[in-house]
Amino acid sequence: MGNKSNRLLIVLSLIFCQNIYSQIFVKGKVTDTQNQTLAYASVTTYSPLSRIQTNINGEFTLNLPEGNQKIYISFVGYKTKALKLAIYKNMPPIKVKLESGIALNEVEILGEHNNYNLNTPMMGINYLKSSDIEKRPTLLGEADILKSIQLTAGVQSTSEGNTGFSVRGGAPDQNLILLDHTIVYNPSHLIGFLSVFNNDIIKDATLYKGSLPVKYGGRLASTLDISTIDKHPQKTAITGGIGLLASRLTLEIPCGEKTGLLLSGRRSYADLFLKLLPNENAKKSSLYFYDLNLKLSHKISNKDHISLSSYSGQDHVAVEDFGINYGNKLLSFIWQHDYNSKISSTATIAYSKYMYDLKSDWEINLIEWKSNLSDVRGEIDFSHRLSKRNKLSYGISTTKHSFHPCNIEGPNFFGYEVSESHAKESALYLANEQIINKRWIVSYGIRSNFFSNESNYITIDPRLSSAIKLSNESSIKMSYGHNTQFIQWASRSNSGSPLDVWFPANAKIKPQKTSIISAGYYRNLQKSGIETSVEIYYKASHNIIDFADNVDLLFNDHIEDLIRSGSGKAYGLELSISKKTKRFTAIINYTYSHSEFAIPEINKGKTYLSPYDKPHSINLFIDYNISKKISLSANWIYSSGKPGTFPSAEYETDGVYVPVYSGRNNYRYPDYHRLDFSINYQPIHKDKKWKDEWIFSVYNAYARRNPWAINFKKNKSRMVYLFSIVPSITYNFKF
């Protein structure tokens, strides 16, 4: 009996050893067609089942048995690549280049497709590349990422022509906006009509709605994570453009084999045209903005990559005796390190400052007003492939906030100042993405938040999401997320303004909290290249803030006395259908949403609509390449009118008309809709190094008079319109 046991043990040992030694390490690297590495691209095999991601250099290592294997490589916004490989000892590394779009031929040949939107457990994700953004017709021909985000399901513009956006009924300050890991507090130029993000330097952007990855926190509604170009060019490249509103120039400069420098600048020139006007006051006026970007990237080794990014931008307006300046300054240092094939980390030190100042010189009312908000933040985030089925992510972050709302100098103010305050915000987080089986994947995690100001707050944000693949073409998903927000703005404008005052939670103002439940069905019709999705959500919020009527937010050292808090809820449905081929792209988004507040001290305690409740919205986008030289793009946008608080009557006393209101947000603006289109002409040059294009665009093509504001006087309403039809022309070049 003992001999039989020994023989069985020997046989099992030989089989086990054979399986070990038949496993071969296969290395590879993933880039795009421009040789830019694709970090965190998905690499999947089904025999054995394994799903990993590339490291910061786009590299991966697989442990596979010898013989024929299929490997699927995908990245959001690129064609999935399916490779048939013969695995053998000492095989050379695999070099994979992904192309933009959806790969139809591979689907037809292999019958399998690793669709990102089907396999990832996360919901409510929208991914945009720079090339997607520049195809959208926009106001005055300026490609704008925030205007493109507004055209996705569940996202709506806060007002006509504005870059402010509301996600699933949330306020604009409930959106966390990051540029190279650095918080941007005011992402707009020209008081909201253009964003601070120069599309020439953007690599990609990802919008997360609802249940967020655990490394993101501090906001209730969404996170928009924007990354700039991060590559080491082999030769100097110059990109630029000249438009009616502004011009821009970008340089990509190689500084050795391992170092790349990115320089970019943009400036408007409306002030130059003012000099040509006959009015003397107009000649003395000025109106312009500028922004400057710098990024230095260096590859220390195959395991270490560092980058230093900075942004500086400002708006300046001076009309007669009044002037305003506002802008952002951002700086970040990022160190990405691979410990081995399983563990990598990203460490960040970031500084962000938003500031504005007002000046007036009206005889005795000479004043100068200054305000600023700044952050210093440090974080380290780890990605750890624990096994073939489990991938951990964990990290820690800490931020010091400094708020300086108001410092006024002038004869009538005697150095009036709203007290400066500070706060500390820290977080610990841990999550795991687990493959249960071939069709079921889950992601679960927890984020612990610590906030210290006048009071100390500790909150827990659990997050859970799951995807079940019904077939190679469809899946269902469910998610739950809890979010906490400790700082917010005081704004009387739905879209925000440069004068909005940010303030922290304290002893009187509790942090805002939201729980959101989502479910969705996703289906890709691979033969026709159509992707579809439908998501539903329900969101319950607590400690939501609003302001009492007729309050002065600017000249107040005790904003907390003006705040009223209560609960809120929102629910909705988001439907998206897209079709992409080499020559044609069509996207249809429909959103139904409802958002309301219940605050005891406002509207007599009755439930009322939030300022961002727009029940219906439709976005249609078409892009068609007529030929190699000419392409046509068009948007059609429709949304229900936003809520408004309008007087129901007026009475006169001593010649003064006093409005009477029957409730908060009890009326609605007229419905909004418009058509934009653009024609792109790309000449073909003998010198292929030189590329240029002419973009002819029309904003609001049928001149719809969409009201921007409604004023009331003597029981009569007057609508204020900003734009009729706006044509523009832009010239872009690259060499």
Q: Taking residues 383-388, what's their average pLDDT?
A: 88
**Alpha-carbon distances, residue 99 vs 186, 530, 632 (angstroms):** 34, 18, 22
- What pLDDT digit, counting tens, does each position of 291-350 carry? 999 999 999 988 899 999 999 999 998 877 778 899 999 999 999 999 988 899 999 999
**pLDDT cut 90: percent of the chain above it:** 51
Residue 114 reports pLDDT greater than 50: no
**Alpha-carbon distances, residue 339 vs 298, 326, 343 (angstroms):** 18, 42, 5
Give the pLDDT of residue 692.
93
Nearest in space to 438 (alpha carbons), one of 416, 479, 471, 483: 471
Q: Taking residues 78-92, what's their average pLDDT?
A: 83
- What pLDDT digit, counting tens, does each position of 568-600 carry? 999 999 999 999 888 899 999 999 999 999 999
Interatomic CA distance for residues 493 and 479, integer angstroms: 32
Q: Which residue has the higher pLDDT, 405 or 381?
A: 381
Lowest mean pLDDT among 108-122, 329-343, 679-693: 108-122
Write the DSSP symbol of residue 655. Answer: T
List the Cα angle 436/438/443 in 5-degree steps. Answer: 40
Give the pLDDT of residue 412.
64
- What pLDDT digit, counting tens, does each position of 56-72 carry? 678 888 877 787 888 88
**Alpha-carbon distances, residue 186 vs 13, 189, 568 (angstroms):** 64, 9, 25
Give the pLDDT of residue 523.
94
Interatomic CA distance for residues 235 and 448, integer angstroms: 46
H/E segment holding residue 453: none
| CATH code that applies to domain 224-734 | 2.40.170.20
Give the pLDDT of residue 606.
93
Residue 103 reports pLDDT greater than 50: no
The strand pair at 23-32 and 94-98 is best described as parallel
Lowest mean pLDDT among 114-118, 198-202, 336-340, 594-598: 114-118
Interatomic CA distance for residues 41 and 169, integer angstroms: 32
Give the pLDDT of residue 647.
83
Cα dihedral 95→99→105→111 (10° resolution): 70
Contact 179, 445 (CB under 8 A): no
Confidence of residue 14 (pLDDT cuts 50, 70, 90): very low
Give the pLDDT of residue 414.
59
Give the pLDDT of residue 11.
43
Contact 306, 347 (CB under 8 A): no
- Residue 276: CA count within 13 A, CB half-sphere: 5
Give the pLDDT of residue 436.
92
Residue 142 reports pLDDT greater than 90: no
Contact 86, 67 (CB under 8 A): yes
Nearest in space to 523 (alpha carbons), one of 475, 573, 460: 475
Interatomic CA distance for residues 425 and 568, integer angstroms: 25
Give the pLDDT of residue 111.
34
- Considering the domain delimited by 22-114, tell me its CATH architecture: Sandwich (2.60)
Beta bridge partners of 478: 466, 519
Q: Which residue has the higher pLDDT, 269 or 181?
A: 181
- What pLDDT digit, counting tens, does each position of 484-536 carry? 999 998 776 655 567 778 889 998 899 999 999 999 999 988 777 899 999 99
Q: Is 303 left (phi over 0), alpha (psi -120 to 50) or beta?
A: alpha
Give the pLDDT of residue 1.
47
List the Cα angle 130/197/187 in 5-degree steps. Answer: 135
Give the pLDDT of residue 3.
54
**Alpha-carbon distances, residue 422 vs 312, 356, 455, 489, 558 (angstroms):** 24, 19, 12, 15, 15
Write the DSSP symbol of residue 599. Answer: -
**pLDDT cut 70: percent of the chain above it:** 88
Write the DSSP symbol of residue 37. Answer: B
Give the pLDDT of residue 9.
43
